[in-house]
Every structure is written in C-alpha cells, then in structure tokens.
Chain A
Amino acid sequence: MTIRINNNDVAPPDDARVSLLDLLREHLHLTGTKVGCNQGACGACTVLLDGDRVLSCLTLAVQADGHQVTTIEGLGSPEEPHPLQAAFIEHDGFQCGYCTPGQICAAVAMLREAASGMPSYVTVDLATEKTFLSLEEIRERMSGNLCRCGAHNGIVKAIQQVAKEQAA
C-alpha cells in the first residue's frame, strides 16, 4: 500500500516508529509542516488526513497507509495561494510564521467541520445544520493551534473572511 501525499504516492517507512511528521519533514523534505512540541500540545504539525485535521506528531506514518495526506505545500504556492493563505497575508495573521502552516491546515479542516454542522463548546444551538462562524466560534475551534507571536486577531479575521466568502 502507499500513502498519498499531496497527490504523490509514497511508500510507508520501514521503521514503524516514524511519525507522519518525521516522514514528511525528514524523509520527504516537506518541511512546511512544523514541529513545536512533538507531543500534541501546539498544533504546529497539523496536516489533513483525508481532509480531516490531525496532529502529524501524534500520528504514526504507517497509520496514514492507504490514506490521503495534504500538507501546507499541497494547499497552494506563493504564486497560487489558497484563499486562506492569501487572507493570512492580508490580515497579518503571523509574525515569525512558524505556527502558520499548522494554523492554515487546521483552518481548512475547521471550515469543513463547521459547514457540516459539527458543534463546538461555544455553540448554542447543538441541532443546527450549519454553524455560523462567529469570532468566538472560530477562536474556540482554533484553540488547539498555539501562536506565541500573538497573531491571534489576524488569524481569526483571516479565517472569518474566508468563511464569509465560502458562505456567499
């Protein structure tokens, strides 16, 4: 079997201990995915596994066998950015840029979760089919992604702008 990463087939590593994070960074040189703790506490390593967000540091590479992985490099490029990537620049949703790939990957999946009606801790109407993404909703849903530079306001604004565009 193979892991499909950004539309390329990759063989799973021989060493079963290799995390998806290290497979990406050290074996494939896809270093857009970042490492901030290696223990599930910061969100910097967030990637998409079949469209859902996962922490690649807590995912063994072999667990991704037979699945689709999308990393920040697979979302867009400097020349052709994903709408969220462009919105992050517009709203200055980063300073050092280290948490940024994880924030953007998490946001892509989060918008999908919200669109499918998945509630959060701050959702008032749990039966709703489609969540309205207030700033508070975005903040709660993005709280697994830490940013030490304090770009929170810009990140949340960037996501809200894209959420509005998608809803329109």
Chain B
Amino acid sequence: MSNVQNAVIGTVRTVLGWVPSQWLPGGTPDPLIERRAAIGQQASRLDGPAKVSGQARFAADVAMAGLSYATLVHSPITRGRITKLESGAAEAAPGVILVMTYHNMPRLGIVPMIGGTNLSAAGNSALPTMQGPDIWYNGQVVAMVLAETQEQADYAASLIEIDYREDSAKTSFENAKPDSRAPASVLFEKNHVSIGNAEQELNRAAFKVDNIYRTPGHNHNAIELHAVTVAWDGDTVLLHDATQAISATASAIAKLFNLKNEQVRVLSPLVGGGFGGKAFWDHQIIAVAAAKLAARPVRLILSRDSVYRMIGGRSPSEQRVAVGADAEGKFTSIIHTGYSIMPPYAACPEPYTLGTRAIYKSKSFEIIQRYLDLDIVPNTFMRAPGEAIGTFALENAVDELAHEMGLDPIELRLRNEPEKHPISGATFSQHATRQAYLDGAERFGWEQREARPGARRDGEWRIGMGCASGGFPYVRMPGVNIRIELRRDGSAKISCSAQEMGMGTATVQTQHAADRLGLPVEAISFELGDSALPVAPMAGGSSQTASLSGAVIAGAERLTIELLRLAGNDSPIAGLRAGEVQLAKEGIASLDDPSRYESFRSIMARASRDEVTVTASGSPPLEMFKFAMHSSSAIFCQLRVSDVTGEIRVDRMLGSFDCGTILNPKTAASQFKGGMIMGLGLALTEETLFDERSGRIMNASLADYHVPSHLDVPEIDVIWTGIPDPRSPLGARGIGEIGITGVAAAVANAVFNATGTRVRDLPITLDKVLSEIP
C-alpha cells in the first residue's frame, strides 16, 4: 500500500471518469434484473438436509487410514529467544511419532500476504514459521507433537521443556503512539483526506461534538475450530482444510514447499464459519511439514486456546470523531482520525475511517489513520473490518450532535445525505439510504421514542430507543473463473473453487444459474470447495456473490456463442448473434422474435454432442472505479437498562437495508441477522482482554470471551429496499458484512436515550452504565 498504488488507482478512476458508462461492465443493466424466476425465491439451503442430520463433512471430519494427531505448543513469552529446548521426554512418550521444533522443521520461505496487489494471496503474517529460536509474540508456535492419538499428543506436549531469554516487548497501546505511522493508503483508498480546513470549520461551527471512542480487540470465534487433515501421496499433497481461501491456500503451500500448483489440492466444501478468520496461518504449514517429515497423514485441530493465540482478530482502536454543523444542521466539518494496531509483519489494516468517507456530505473533511506497532499475533480482517467499529464512533457522534441540537437523529442524518460520493464526487450507482430510514422508522415505531433521555420507565427498567446508520462498499473481485458443463439431458454443472461458510453460496448461484441458463433449478448443480476447480478468489469483502455472478454471466455468454456455433445453419436461430438471443426455456431464443427458438437438447443432438463445456472468467470489475457503489442500512434498537444492576437487555432490533437485489430472501435475512447479532456482541459483551504487562491474551476461551447466547438475542426484524443496482450483476451487492455495521452505535444511542449516559468505550458493560446512573 504505497504512494504508487494511490497514483495507479487515482489514474484508473480519472480515466474511467471519461469512459462512457455503456462501455463498462454494468454499463447496461443486467437483463436478469427484469426477468428472474428462481432468483428472489425463498429457497431453503441445498445443503440443509446434510447439515441437520450430521452428514455434512467438515475438514476435521474426514476419515483416513493411518491418521496421526498433532498438538501445538505456544510461547508464553512475548519477545525473546529460545535458549534451551528439551524434547527427549516427549519423544519417548507413548505413541509419539514426531516432535517438530525449529531444529527439524523444514526450511521454508514466507507466504505471499493478503493485499491489494496480490488478490491470489491469503497469508496473514510475514514472520517465518518455526524457522528459528526468535520469539515475536506471545502465543507464537514453538513446537508440534505428533502421536498416534490426540490424547498421547496432548500429554507428550506437556513434557517439552523450553527456556527463554526474555527481551523487552512493545505491549502498550498508549506507549506506542509516539512511534505511530500513517500509511499512504488504507486498502484501496488514500489514507489522508483533507478537504477544506476541518479544524477551523469545527471551531466556528454553530453546533459541534468532539470525542474519543474506544473499541477493544475482537476474535472471530467461528464455532468450528481451525482444522486441517493432510496427506502426502508421493510428491503431491492433499489438504482437507477449513478455509475461506481455497485457491490461495493451495498456491501458498505450493510456493512454500516448492511444488507445482497441480501437486497441491485443497478441499474445503464446507466451512463452519469464517468471518475473516479462516485464511492462511501457521497451522496449515505446520501440518503439511509434519505429514511430510513423519510420512503419515496428519490431523491438526487447533484447541480454542490455540485459535486465540495464533489466529489474529480485530485490532483495538482509539478514534477521534468530531462533527460540526451550521444552524440548519448541515455538516460543515467531519474529522475522523485514530489509532489501531498493525505490526509491520501483518497484512490487514483495520480501516475504520473508510465508511466515514461515503456516508455524509460535509463542507470539510480531515481523515487519517495511524498504525501502532505492538508485538502481537498479527491482526486480521474480521466481519466488516473498519465499518463495524468505525460506525460505532461516527454514529455515536452524530447522535450526540442531534441531541445537542434538539433535533431528531434521523432528521439530522437525512439533512446530510450525499447526492454523490462526498470525497471522490463519483455518481452513486444506486443509493436509497433515505428510504431505508423512512421504511425502518415506520416499521419500528420510531415515533414512540421520547427525545428526552431517561423519560420512559417500567419499574426498575429505563427504556430507550436508538438508531444508527451502517454501510459497506460493493466489491467484485477480478480473477474469478468458472466452468459450465451443459449436458444433453438438460442438466448443467457449474464448477468453481468458491467457498461455502454458511452464506448459501451454492444455493444462491444455483438459483442464479437456473435463470441465467434458462433451466429449472433442479437441473443445476454447483460444485465448489476444491482447488482443482477453476480458480476463485477468497471469500472476503462480501464480494463472493457478485464476483461469482459476474463469472456465471461470462460463462453464459461463452456458452451462447458455442451453442450458436453448434446450431449451425439448419436451425431456427441460424444467423443470430450472441447479442440477439437469450438462453431461455432450456434453449436459445431470439430476443426480437421468441418463436425463433431451438432447445439445447436438439442443438446438441444434431451436433452429436453429449455435453458442451465452456470456461470463462468474470469481466474486470471496472464499475467499482467508475461509480460509487455502496450499500447502506438503518439499524434500530429498543432496550431496557436496570436501575439496580445496570444490566442491559435488548428487546428488539430492526435492520433496514439498501443492498440492491436480494437473491434469496430466506438466506439473506439469516445473513443480515447474523451480522446484527455479532454487532450485539460487539456492543455489549465482546472483548479480547489483552494483558499489557505480559503481552498475553487473558480470556482465550469461549467461557471468558462472551459471544451472544440465545437469551441475549431478541427477535430481529429485517427489511430491505430491494432496489436493484443497475451497475452490478443481478443488481445485487454483497450482504455478508453490512449487518454488523451500525449496530453498536444503535445500541449505545439507545442506552443514552434510556439513561442519559453516553458510553464511548466498548463493550457497554454494566459497570460503565451503573456508575453514571443517578
């Protein structure tokens, strides 16, 4: 992420600004937006029967003859060096096959890192894996024990003796600030944005707020533990992996172990939740190396403790947000700056200011992020990186300003709705935040809210309502490849190395392909989760559905051309070009004259073909650079706060989303709710407790890190505008991450409305509320 990158992206945007939009992907809206049959249906998940009956196979479920079991040992110190490593007792313990440390670990290089410049990479750390005695962070893996059974491996691991020389370590957020650095860019955006003089505007604003907001570290906590089952066969290796980056994992292993891509196969048909946490980490490398050294298949299931220690989470942040407004409530100044942690060996920034750039118009802006270098496990992306916590700060501040002005917070927001992108000036492809707010407010009964804090009571309970905006950008990834095999029996198989972590990838793409190819849903099968299939990028940035859809469109175009060629001159469709026909009713029909039609079956029979197979890759996602493509949401929350204990009970929530076409209302509603529930945890209970004295995570278990449980989760209502985005495939934008955005602020704003207490420090725990209740 450099100045060079800023220049390149800036140039692409400028050039695309001159290019007429018809020339770009999405220049003319996807025709399927108008004629859809399977898309938009409430289809149940195709993998449902297998999942509810325990038949669905995850990475740690694969049976293999001669399997051996691995356990990892982690460093209990933060910086320093191993001075003594005694593994004799472990090696001699019953059942032990191999003890691997930096002494005997194969010498390996560094994996390619996740990043804007290399979309086929998935690495999270630039540190070497068990290559030497140096310790970089607390929890770093220092040894692995392989045994015949898990019990034997776990016991033997306890026999390894390691002495360390401890060096001083950087573990304090506060102390790292003087050495902070401001990168040139954050993801694809220029980091520092300065429009007008925001400090000056703030000073002379009629109304203003200026506060510091803090958010703690978070961990993904997918219920499925990271797990990999590995087997070498000669010089090829097979990994059954729990990963959201199938192709990238395969190529990383190939690169590290000096293999050709064809020598590595990664299978990951189902993943038990990812949320950003299941890309490429040390455990895959260690398992592959151990399986090679021991010449045995290896199963490595990380313990929950190991997941916390060696898989990074969301960085903590400290954010300053200041908003100034004139007497009419028009924003004159928005300042969003702050600190998050990003060690130099990490790949993933926490881009908490990105959302702020797209959400309101303002006369002036001052935005810049600074990174702190601490000695920690490299942080990584976690659901809605940036926006999840950035909206907490910004949307709290806007609520504070509305209170200050005596204005309804929705009204204040609507007065500052941008007509075009506030920073770049690009046209929005589609933008209906206002409608999302108005629909949401009506459905939620926002008019019942008392503007005066603490005005509603019910016995010991103070009742409050709050709302906040969320948002997430549209991303379509380049480099998505797909294969379509159309068979003479009227069925079609789509193949791609995409991933399924619960989003309903196959379900939705089956619906899509049915409409795209003019086939019934039952005729389509969608094959994914295998690196041997055409390459797809990792599932991230809520991009997978749009990216795959773009590739299916390209595949259907290829298929059309191929079928027209096969149809030849003796067909009712002879002479028609690809642009003049559509795939419909299990055949090809002229757009102008639908009576000119021939079925796939008849074309293929005449050509003596049993199948027609095409491969294609999605068009470059230039629409992203020409248009401002953003989803937005309005989140509403009603809760109670106990006068006696400070306990907060959320009674209801509503999410009103503007995310383009909704492809499957059933699975989409679940994804929105899932995000909102993670937002509830972010607001009220979740916190990775980091001991700044030792550099160690203190609550590395699901008993001590509190994700929302059933009793914490109220009935959640979800609605959407459903207005298609004319620039995206199917009119859809991603929905996997936006659900979490805005939720923490909506909760905080409701707590303020209930009690008059403004909590600017997540999570909003009882003590923070109770100490302020009069």
Contact = CB atoms under 8 A, between A and B. Distances in A.
Nearest to B679: A150
A142 B50 CA distance: 22
B703 A41 contact: yes
B710 interface: yes
A100 B151 contact: no
B716 A153 contact: yes
A130 interface: no
B194 interface: no
Interface string B663-707: 000110111011111100000000000000000000001110001
Tier of interface size on chain B: 35 or more
Given A34-B272, A42-B223, A98-B58, A140 B711 contact: yes
A6 B58 CA distance: 21
Interface residues of A, number: 65
Interface in B640-671: 666-667, 669-671
Interface stretch (B41-49, B437-445, B511-519): B41-49
B707 A148 contact: yes
A35 B222 CA distance: 11
B119 to A, nearest CB: 24
A131 interface: no
A104 B501 CA distance: 20
A26 to B, nearest CB: 7
Contacts of A144: 709
Nearest to B222: A148
Nearest to A158: B52
Contacts of A72: 52-54
Contacts of B211: none
Interface in B54-91: 54-58, 60-61, 63, 69
A18 B95 CA distance: 14
B290 interface: no
Contact of B151 (A15, A39, A76, A99): A15
B273 interface: yes
B221 A148 contact: yes
Given A96-B224, A148-B273, A148-B275, A31 B57 contact: yes
B53 A76 contact: yes
B675 A150 contact: yes
A160 to B, nearest CB: 11
Nearest to B63: A29
> What's the dominant secondary structure at chain A's contact region?
loop
B710 A155 contact: yes
Nearest to B307: A37
B335 to A, nearest CB: 33
Given A36-B224, A94-B51, A94-B52, A145 B57 contact: no
A87 to B, nearest CB: 9
Interface stretch (A48-56, A77-85, A111-119): A77-85
A140 to B, nearest CB: 5
Interface in A68-102: 71-73, 75-78, 81, 85-86, 88-90, 92, 94-101
Given A18-B151, A36-B225, A98 B52 contact: no
Contact of B225 (A35, A92, A149, A155): A35
A110 B693 CA distance: 44
Contact of B303 (A15, A25, A38, A81): A38
Contact of A150 (B57, B676, B715): B676
B271 interface: yes
Interface in B699-736: 701-703, 707-711, 713, 715-716
Interface of B: 44-45, 47-58, 60-61, 63, 69, 149-151, 155, 220-225, 270-273, 275, 301, 303-304, 501-504, 666-667, 669-671, 673-678, 701-703, 707-711, 713, 715-716
Given A17-B151, A22-B151, 11 more contacts: A15-B151, A25-B61, A31-B58, A32-B54, A36-B225, A76-B53, A88-B52, A96-B270, A97-B272, A148-B221, A152-B708
21 contacts: A17-B155, A30-B54, A31-B61, A32-B54, A37-B701, A38-B304, A40-B703, A77-B53, A88-B52, A92-B670, A96-B224, A96-B271, A96-B272, A96-B501, A97-B270, A100-B52, A135-B715, A143-B710, A146-B223, A149-B502, A152-B708
Interface of A: 15, 17-18, 22, 25-26, 29-42, 44, 71-73, 75-78, 81, 85-86, 88-90, 92, 94-101, 104, 122, 135-136, 138-140, 142-156
